[in-house]
Chain A
């Protein structure tokens, strides 16, 4: 059983639920950014929730099934074609040997997950099949021509489902729940207020390591607006912070006052104060935000 990668699109990576437990020796957890989407794909196929699938950035993945294979696509929203026939997302579907699946360009969300019955069975590294893009650990990014092995499925029944209620990623503004971070007291009260009340926008320089945010400002030429030059999120304590451990969802603020939300491939330690931490229940949806998309933070 195997899958032939005909085109990986901009970036396709094997991901499972990551390799926890190695942060003290410099390796982060990594793993699927939208963990719920990968878990759902696996559940639809009767897999273990933590089986590996393919995380596809934006779309463009083209794969050929070398054998008859049950598969499911979850995560982002957009067109899916099996040969020339549209297939539904969030449902188990059967591909015959030789059929080609094309994951189109996402109309909402940034990351698709392709799960296959039996799971992607590349060799695990340190207990996980996840590609950690920062540490350079785990299976290399997929390339055209790669043959991905598919695991032997234990043979449990396929769940009988006609419809799964799924909250698909939205293209509009998203409310993200967050807790005050360990260094919230390093910021002025005005900065904390601003963090939880401003409209933020996902910057272009965002990846699996972190998502940069910029404030959506009222245009400077608008009537009554006084241009501001101080840092956006001003510090109450300005001394340097000794590097400290980081977690996924931590919102680090760099000296220019800009926040970066760390994702699964984050460095295990960092030297910028963490003003807030994205709530675990919001982290999957956060990881589906697209560059340019707007969000607000709400107290968890």
Chain B
């Protein structure tokens, strides 16, 4: 198919390059639903998806065929796992985000809570998920000076993404609220509340 490029990635992996994030989300749904044995990791990012294989079970050439032939799947064509997260919208940067986007703080909260978000990919820390919103997306610049410590449960915006800090860490996202939801639990199976493909509905906590 011409909507993707398959790039070599060493002895155990291939990288699929796509046009944009929405194409990544759609192809990831297709790949995740048709994942053959021997695919050890299927890792989406903003323009690419990596497939890491165990070559004793699935050869790179067989994996390439799967990556080339699998069709993208629209969001409304599959039953999606949905998680609801209650947020207290009292983040330190809420007013700054309102100023940066020319809205009121109440508008920012409504923007965040009214439509579902989807996990596009992870990567910054265990259990951290980059979320993209269905429909309109706001572009929010990161803080010019990152915080040295952001508490676990902080809900933030950066670029067109939203995210929730799974554990305390440094961070440059604009913080708009916080949640008590447990994003990462090493003792749970699976350990991450949010995984690529999960739909997230934020709800304003009373």
Indicate if A278 sits at the interface (CB-CB under 8 A). yes
Convert B24-57 into 0s and 1s, putting 1 for each residue whose CB lies closer than 8 angstroms to a CB of A.
0000000000000000111111111110100000
- Give the CA-CA distance A223 to B10 in the complex, in Å: 40
Chain A interface, number of residues (Cβ within 8 angstroms): 33
Tell me if B46 and A179 are in contact (CB < 8 A): no
Residues of B within 8 A of A (CB): 7-13, 15, 17, 40-50, 52, 121-129, 186, 190-192, 194-196
Indicate if A166 sits at the interface (CB-CB under 8 A). no
Indicate if A267 sits at the interface (CB-CB under 8 A). yes
- Give the CA-CA distance A247 to B186 in the complex, in Å: 22
Indicate if A25 sits at the interface (CB-CB under 8 A). yes
Convert A76-117 into 0s and 1s, putting 1 for each residue whose CB lies closer than 8 angstroms to a CB of B.
000000000000000000000000000000000000000000
- Give the CA-CA distance A182 to B42 in the complex, in Å: 16
Beyond A25-B195, A26-B126, A280-B10, is A269–B45 a contact (Cβ under 8 Å)? yes
CB-CB nearest in chain A for B183: A25
Tell me if A23 and B41 are in contact (CB < 8 A): yes
Q: Which residues of A contact B123 (CB under 8 A)?
A: 26, 243, 267-269
- Give the CA-CA distance A249 to B124 in the complex, in Å: 20
Contact sample, A vs B, 14 pairs, CB 8 Å cutoff: A22-B126, A23-B50, A24-B41, A25-B127, A25-B192, A137-B126, A182-B17, A244-B47, A245-B44, A247-B12, A269-B43, A269-B121, A269-B122, A279-B10
CB-CB nearest in chain B for A25: B192
Shortest A244–chain B CB gap in Å is 4
Specify which of A135, A137, A182 is in contact with B9 (CB 8 Å cutoff). Answer: A182
Indicate if A73 sits at the interface (CB-CB under 8 A). no
Tell me if A179 and B122 are in contact (CB < 8 A): no
Indicate if A181 sits at the interface (CB-CB under 8 A). yes
Tell me if A26 and B41 are in contact (CB < 8 A): no
CB-CB nearest in chain B for A281: B11
Tell me if B8 and A180 are in contact (CB < 8 A): yes
Indicate if A125 sits at the interface (CB-CB under 8 A). yes
Tell me if A268 and B186 are in contact (CB < 8 A): no
Indicate if A155 sits at the interface (CB-CB under 8 A). no
Indicate if A27 sits at the interface (CB-CB under 8 A). yes
- Give the CA-CA distance A181 to B190 in the complex, in Å: 32
Beyond A25-B122, A182-B8, A280-B10, is A247–B196 a contact (Cβ under 8 Å)? no
Convert A4-40 into 0s and 1s, putting 1 for each residue whose CB lies closer than 8 angstroms to a CB of B.
0000000000000000111111110000000000000
Specify which of B15, B17, B47, B121 is in contact with A24 (CB 8 Å cutoff). Answer: B121
Indicate if A250 sits at the interface (CB-CB under 8 A). yes
Tell me if B11 and A279 are in contact (CB < 8 A): yes
- Give the CA-CA distance A183 to B5 in the complex, in Å: 12
Q: Which residues of A contact B125 (CB under 8 A)?
A: 26, 135
List 14 additional A-B contacts (Cβ < 8 Å) besides A26-B123, A26-B124, A250-B10. A22-B126, A23-B43, A23-B52, A24-B44, A26-B125, A27-B191, A243-B45, A245-B44, A245-B45, A245-B50, A268-B122, A269-B43, A269-B121, A279-B11
Q: Which residues of B contact A20 (CB under 8 A)?
A: 40-41, 52
Q: Which residues of B contact A137 (CB under 8 A)?
A: 126, 186
Shortest B198–chain A CB gap in Å is 10
Which residues in chain A, 136-179, are within 8 Å of chain B measured between CB atoms?
137, 179
